[in-house]
Amino acid sequence: MSHTYLIGFSGGADSTAALLWTLEKMQGKAQIIAVHFNHHLRGSESDAEAANAGKFAADRGVEFRLIDLDIAPGGNLEARARRARLDAWKKLCGEYENPVVVTGHHQDDCIENMFLRIGRGSNVSGLTGLHLCSEVEGVNFFRPLLIMSRSDIEKFLAERGVTSWAVDSSNLECEYSRNVLRNKILPELYRLFPGGRKAVAQTLENLQEDAAALDRMAAAFFDNAGKSHCETAFWQLYENETALAVRMLRLLCREFFADDAPVSTASFARFMNMVSGGGNGKLELDKKRTLVFVNGMILPGRENPSAVEWNWRKYPQILWNGYLFKAEKVDSLPAQVSLNEAFFDGGSLPDILNVGAPRDGEKMLPFGGQKMVKVKKLRIDRKIPAVPVLPLLRGGDDVVLWMTFVRHSAHHPVRPEREIIRIFAEKAE
């Protein structure tokens, strides 16, 4: 299976090492693209870094993508920037087959994260949250430098003739918690403790082993339970085993929502209270994930708006559940078709289409396929969560024509000699 490697490339030492490592290991075997996010937070310094990153990539024959992010200065800046980058990664990954995002995270990042999360009351899995491979909201991340320290990375670069790189001036300021740790607390800690940084790194490694053992144990109990893990009776068995229950709740969220982001301590406590009470009701874990308790069962909360009829010839645009659909005539197919567009034969495509949520058990005939496949399976195979609901485009007799952002059907295929209709879908702002 061929992959596309998307390298998060700021131009700093860490991301430069990640790019060079990927080139050495994968060049000629896979497509490699350097992706630079310009947050526009440091004026001309940000713009200069973007230009230098582009030149570095070009000098090595690497495709370069510049992504502008509009991040307003103010409170919670780091979290907002991370969210903006993740949203950009999700969109970018939709343009490629089998995308893998490579980042320059290293051992010092893991140590800093450990101390930051101690301050948040995290469990052992939270303290050791950075892994070699992970999936976040459908994006596959790969961090090949995790066993390397910052000094190891600088040595790696020097051996390859790279002696200068971008330095973010904001990293020297002690306005953010991570910078205080990096510039003041950790150097003093390393000075005070016998073994210094090496001892702290060994502690982190021990915690990672403990976390992995607990994660494996929780996964075994969860998997062995089969579908009974959707019953409150199953969870009542673990009311006094919170270390396992909190991990299994993340697995349940992965199954329901394709999102196993950590659950807050308060949300986990409310979940266990619902389990203990055995009643019916709704529980909002966070803004994206809601659970419904009904007659001893736990179900994902879904609120699907009604389907709508769309006369695309008369009204070339329509809005459904926050998604904007546009229809237009085009002269030819593009060289590469993205997942948020579909092309049909205008001569046979019905004038009236249906836009709505997937129905239970609904199937479609994928383009190039020979048999009907459940749309739910197509969604799960692409690791797309059930919530928020992606719209389906249907034709006459409710035939599924397109599962947006997932798969095109085999119905009404384009014929070069006839009218070609492009239907485009995007999340409305």
Lowest average pLDDT, out of 40-49, 106-115, 367-376, goes to 40-49
User: What is the number of other CB atoms lying within 10 angstroms of the CB of residue 16?
Assistant: 25
Task: Give the per-residue pLDDT at 172.
Answer: 64
The H-or-E segment that residue 334 falls in is none
Tokens 């929780």, residue? 218
Banded pLDDT at 1 (limits 50, 70, 90): low
d(CA 51, CA 70): 18
Cα 361 from Cα 376, distance rounded (Å): 8
3-class state of residue 99 by DSSP:
strand
Cα 37 from chain centre: 16
Q: How much of the chain, in percent, has pLDDT values that exceed 90?
A: 64
Exposed, middle or buried: residue 7 (CB in 10 Å: 0-12, 13-18, 19+)? buried
Give 61 or 74, the one with higher predicted confidence: 61
Query: Cβ neighbours of residue 121 under 8 Å, at least 6 residues apart?
Result: 265
Q: Taking the CA atoms of 268, 269, 275 and 280 in sequence, report the sign of the dihedral they define.
A: negative
How much is the pLDDT for 317? 87
What are the tens digits of pLDDT across the range 323-370?
A: 889 999 999 999 888 889 999 999 999 999 999 999 889 999 999 888
Model pLDDT, residue 302: 66
> Does the pLDDT at position 399 exceed 70?
yes
CATH value of 308-427 in 3.50.40.10, 3.40.50.12160, 3.40.640.10, 3.60.15.10: 3.50.40.10
Instruction: Report the pLDDT averaged over residues 66-92.
Output: 86
Residue with tokens 């101690």: 118
User: Collapsing DSSP states into helix, strand and coil, what is residue 298?
Assistant: strand
Three-state secondary-structure class, residue 383: coil
Find residue 328's DSSP bridge partners.
422
Confidence class for position 403, pLDDT limits 50, 70, 90? very high
Give the whole-angstrom CA distance, residue 45 versus residue 38.
10
| Tens of pLDDT, residues 214-273 | 999 999 999 999 889 989 999 999 999 999 999 999 999 988 887 788 899 999 999 999
Burial of 37 (0-12, 13-18, 19+ CB in 10 A): buried
Domain ranges of the chain: 4-192, 225-300, 308-427
Convert the pLDDT of each residue in 86-114 to its tens digit: 999 999 998 998 999 999 999 999 999 99
302-336: pLDDT as tens digits = 666 788 899 999 888 888 888 889 999 999 999 88
23 pLDDT above the threshold of 70: yes
pTM equals 0.66
Question: 169-207 pLDDT, tens per residue?
Answer: 766 666 678 889 998 999 999 999 888 899 999 999 999
- The CA-atom distances, in angstroms, between 104 and each of 93, 165, 341 are 18, 14, 33
- Beta carbons within 8 Å of 269's beta carbon, 6+ residues apart: none
- Kindly tell me if the per-residue pLDDT of 422 is higher than 60: yes
CATH superfamily of 4-192: HUPs (3.40.50.620)
Instruction: With both helix axes pointing from N to C terminus, report the angle between 150-158 and 13-26 in degrees, rounded to the nearest 10.
Output: 60
DSSP β-ladder status, 297-300 and 290-294: antiparallel
pLDDT, residue 322, reads 80
Angstrom distance (rounded) from CA 364 to CA 400: 5
Q: What is the mean pLDDT of the chain?
A: 90
Neighbours of 57 (CB within 10 A): 22
The token pair at 195 is 């073994």
